[in-house]
Structures are given as C-alpha cells and as structure tokens.
C-alpha cells in the first residue's frame, strides 16, 4: 500500500506537466527515505530537466539517497536526448531501489533504463499503478504504439440532434461555461483541426484566449485552396497547417501541406511525422463522420444543449453509450472512449 501511496503522489506531480511537455510523456517522481518524502519533481517543460532530475535536485540531504527509494511514473530514460539519461543519474546517486509504474513501450528505449539500473545493483520493481500511469499518458502511448496522434472528437449538438442550422450557422449551441472548458482543453493538446465549411462559416480563431496556457497548432482542411485569406485562421498569430492537394509552401506561421488525398489516414500520418501527439477535431460534421467511419478516434466529447433547431445539419452518431456524463451548467457533456 505504501508503494501505491507514493506512486499516486508521483502521478499527481506528473499531471502538472500536462500541456507543456509534448511530445515527451508526463512524468512524476517521488524520493522516499524511511517512510518520509525527501524529494519530489516532475517534467515541467519539453527540453527541460526530467522528473528524476528535478526530484534529485530537490533533496536537501543528498547523503540519504543511497538508502532511498525512487518512485517514478515511467521507466527512467536510458538515452541522450535534449537531456542526459535519467537511469544513469540514479546510478550515479547510488539509490537503493527504483519503483516504476509503466515501462516505456518505445522499442528503441523500452527496458534499457531498467537494465542500466539492475546492472548497477539497484533493486527495481515495476507495474505499480501501471494502468493509471498508462491512462495518464495515453497520448504518448498512442503515438508510440499506433504511430499516430491521440484523436479527440468534439462537437456541440442541440436537444433535437443538430450541430448547425441549414445555413451552417452553429453559434451558439453550448453555453459559456462549456465554451470556456473547451479553451482549457485546447491548452492541453498539441493541435486542433477543422474542415473547410467550419473555417468559412464560423470563422473560428481556434485559440485558447479564455484560459491560461499555450495555443494548439491550428489545422484546416482545404483541398482546393478555396478559403479566403482574410479568415481568422490565416492571421499568422499561431502556427497553422493548411492541408491541401495543390501546393507545399511556408510563410511565417502558415504552412501549406500538399497531400495526394485528404483523408484521416494521410492526415494522421503527416501529423505523426511532425511529432504532434494529440489532436482535437472540432468539426464540421463531415470531417467528424470521416474519422468515426475510419475508426481513427480515441475519445469523443459531446456537449448537448437544451436548445432546438427543428432542422439543420445532423450531429454524428457513435452508436454507443457514453462512459461519463457531466452537467456543465445547462449543458450535458457526454464523454465516449473508443475501444
């Protein structure tokens, strides 16, 4: 039970890295000596020190480390990236034991951190709260194991099942609290995608102006480059990708990406190559249908309002029951998981 207690604390710490560490995983670390926490740390930013480094640096009495147990939510890295290997650091500090939640499933590095620790005579235990650790880093593990970003579908629909009126107008179906929550979500994911009709009729900014945090990379699908250049998406304030079938070109924060065909498989392959770990798809209905039909989605977040349109563009259907339902003021938020 003590192992689980300290690992839960490490998972809490790891959560502080959400939205800041991609394409790296979120990692938390707790160092314990005689049932007392003597050090804590988490991976705070991509390119910065890893959780183990921050935890070791927080220890005031370093002479205790050789008798300490290190709890870490992901197998310590064994390779030189933007920072030195964490497994080597723990060997250098001669810690007594390392308890790991989840091993790294990257075939290039997985298991090598554990091997370094064991070869140095450090006791290693793995699998403590592994399910929780993998869930927390499901974006990272999806990218590694499925070779694509973690895909979140999001839409708002009326009580009678429409996402927009017949003239494509969809403002505003959800309430202000729901819209603010969406801005929070945007700070937590790498990219956000809309189709041509949503870009044209809604003219969205796709930023996180109502929440503190980073803006996601914006992506718009415009096969024949028909969208006008004065749309908010093209204001060059945020890196923006325009997937099309005509040209590849870069200009300031705008990048036109030519694909032979605009479909979910090619889109996700391109984003994987660009190290984009997670993607929110905010519409429109046709784009959402394509990803659902291709079964290339992991999570769906659907706001259901009390308003009615009587007629319009029908909302997508997932043909399954939600895993969670949450009240957001007057809206109901249903969350679905694929698989």
- Which amino acids are annotated as binding site, given as ranges? 50, 77, 86, 156, 170, 172, 186, 198, 202, 206, 209, 223, 282
Identify which of 156, 141, 2 has the alpha carbon closest to the alpha carbon of residue 69: 2
Nearest to 73 by CA among 120, 8, 141, 20: 8
Q: Is 140 exposed, middle or buried, given 0-12, 13-18 or 19+ CB atoms closer than 10 A?
A: buried
Q: What is the DSSP letter of 188?
A: H
Alpha carbons 38 and 222: distance in angstroms, whole number: 54
Cβ atoms of residues 200 and 186 within 8 Å: no
Secondary structure string (H, E, C) spanning 13-42: HHHCCCCCCCCCCCCEEEEEECCEEEEEEE
DSSP E strand boundaries for 210-251: 217-221, 240-244, 249-251
Q: Give the CA distances from residue 157 to residues 72, 164, 280, 308, in Å, rounded to whole numbers and listed in that order.
A: 41, 8, 17, 9
Alpha carbons 129 and 282: distance in angstroms, whole number? 33
Rounded CA gap, 220 and 99, in Å? 43
User: Active-site positions?
Assistant: 52
CB 227 within 8 A of CB 220: yes
Show Cβ contacts of residue 84 under 8 Å, excluding neighbours closer than 6 positions: none
């Amino acid at each position: 039970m003590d192992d689980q207690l300290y690992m839960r604390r490490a998972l809490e710490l790891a959560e502080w890295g959400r939205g800041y560490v991609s394409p790296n995983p979120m990692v938390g670390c707790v160092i314990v000596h005689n049932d007392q926490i003597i050090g804590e740390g988490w991976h705070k930013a991509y390119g910065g020190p890893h959780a183990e480094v921050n935890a070791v640096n927080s220890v005031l009495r370093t002479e205790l480390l050789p008798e300490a147990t290190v709890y870490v939510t992901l197998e310590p890295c064994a390779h030189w990236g933007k920072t030195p290997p964490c497994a080597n650091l723990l060997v250098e500090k001669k810690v007594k034991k390392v308890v790991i939640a989840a091993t790294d499933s990257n075939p290039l590095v997985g298991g090598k951190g554990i091997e370094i620790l064991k070869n140095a005579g450090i006791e290693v235990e793995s699998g403590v709260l592994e399910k929780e650790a993998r869930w927390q880093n499901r974006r990272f593990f999806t990218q590694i194991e499925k070779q694509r970003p973690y895909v979140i579908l999001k839409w708002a629909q009326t009580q009678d099942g429409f996402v927009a009126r017949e003239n494509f107008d969809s403002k505003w179906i959800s309430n202000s609290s729901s819209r603010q929550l969406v801005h929070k979500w945007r700070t937590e994911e790498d990219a956000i995608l809309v189709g041509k009709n949503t870009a044209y009729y809604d003219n969205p900014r796709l930023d996180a102006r109502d929440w503190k945090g980073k803006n996601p990379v914006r992506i718009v699908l415009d096969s024949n480059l028909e969208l006008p250049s004065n749309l908010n998406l093209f204001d060059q304030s945020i890196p923006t990708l325009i997937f099309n079938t005509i040209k590849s070109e870069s200009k300031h924060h705008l990048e036109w990406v030519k694909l032979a065909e605009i479909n979910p498989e090619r889109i996700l392959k391109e984003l994987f190559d660009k190290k984009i770990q997670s993607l929110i798809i905010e519409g429109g209905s046709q784009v959402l249908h394509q990803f659902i039909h291709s079964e290339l989605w992991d999570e769906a977040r659907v706001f259901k309002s009390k308003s009615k349109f009587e007629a319009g563009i029908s909302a997508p259907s997932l043909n399954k029951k939600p895993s969670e339902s949450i009240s957001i003021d007057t809206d109901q938020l249903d969350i679905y998981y694929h698989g």
